[in-house]
Amino acid sequence: MFAVVGTCLYYAICVYGVTKAKFATHMWDVSVAHVMSNEFLISSFFLNWPTALVWAFAKTSFFLMYLNLFRPVEWLRIGCYFGLIINWGFYTAVIAASIYYNAPNPGQTWLEGSQNPRYTRSFNMTMPIASGSLILDFYILILPIWVVWNLHLDIKRRIGVLAIFATGLIACIASSLSIVYKHKLAGHIDDFTYWTYPILLMALVEMCVGISCSCMPSLAALWRYLDRKGSGTGWSFWNSVIFTPIRSLFRSGGSGGDSKGQSEDWTKDSNQIHKSSYINIQVDSESTRGLAHEHEMTDFGGPSSNMV
């Protein structure tokens, strides 16, 4: 929720920065008076640090989803907690450093603050921040792969589940492109208003992808609803290959109901689709529990055939 609200607000800031502050415009087309105005300087300030706050919440949603799905697997649970600590530690440091380098001192105007020596040093932070974000994205991407591949599902469904998690690869691509454009920005400081624009786009892409991936379980239930309404139109194939196995992961320890009761969660009163309970998505967590037990038996030298 925080990530969604933050992304919407940051999108509004980007729109204002492009239309009013004239980012995405070449420096030679912008007057000196405009660059020294509060409108430009305040927009520049708020285009910097809020991204770290949104990314922190967006990536937290991944770790929480993994904990919900694969809690019985001890090493992955520890990996999620480790990722959460690194995620918030890294982005908290980024927010603090960004505010320190870009905010004016108490009693200074925004123009006076932009002339502080530390303001120009803020450009040196761009590459380390982008690199750290990329490392986190790859960590989130590869964390569940081994567990998903060893689930007790047929090969077609395992590939379907992996395809869902692989959408996080788009966030990795966006982070990589962000590094490329930030490198270009470092070489075009005299035209930074123009070269900031693609960096803003990549930041928005990464935010949106992170939110979309964490919403996949809800999308699975929506897809099942559409499958019932659009039988024979191609929904069934994608539902069976991709979204059925995703739904099968989301039952919290035997709290499932029958599928008929779940189908009644969707009302037909209006053109909107209402979902009565997120928790009612059918799950079968036995495969992850069995996989965790098998992993523990192997660690202690026991035969895998003893798996319950």
pLDDT of residue 261: 41
What is the domain count for the chain? 2
The whole-angstrom separation of Cα 245 and Cα 162 is 10
pLDDT of residue 306: 42
Rg (CA), the chain: 23
User: CB count, 10 Å around CB of 272?
Assistant: 6
Last residue of a domain, one of 176, 192, 214: 214
Last residue of a domain, one of 149, 181, 214: 214
Do 187 and 88 have their domain in common? Answer: yes
In this prediction, the residues of the chain whose per-residue pLDDT falls under 50 are 232, 251-286, 295-308
Do 19 and 36 have their domain in common? Answer: yes
pLDDT of residue 84: 95
In the numeric block, which tokens belong to residue 14?
A: 């980007």
pLDDT of residue 136: 92
In the numeric block, which tokens belong to residue 10?
A: 């940051």
Do 36 and 127 have their domain in common? Answer: yes
pLDDT of residue 184: 87
User: Exposed, middle or buried by CB within 10 Å (0-12, 13-18, 19+), for 5?
Assistant: exposed
Report pLDDT digits (tens) over 50-99: 889 988 998 898 898 888 888 888 899 999 999 999 999 999 999 999 89
Domain that holds residue 79: 2-214
pLDDT of residue 205: 86
Do 123 and 21 have their domain in common? Answer: yes
Last residue of a domain, one of 158, 181, 214: 214
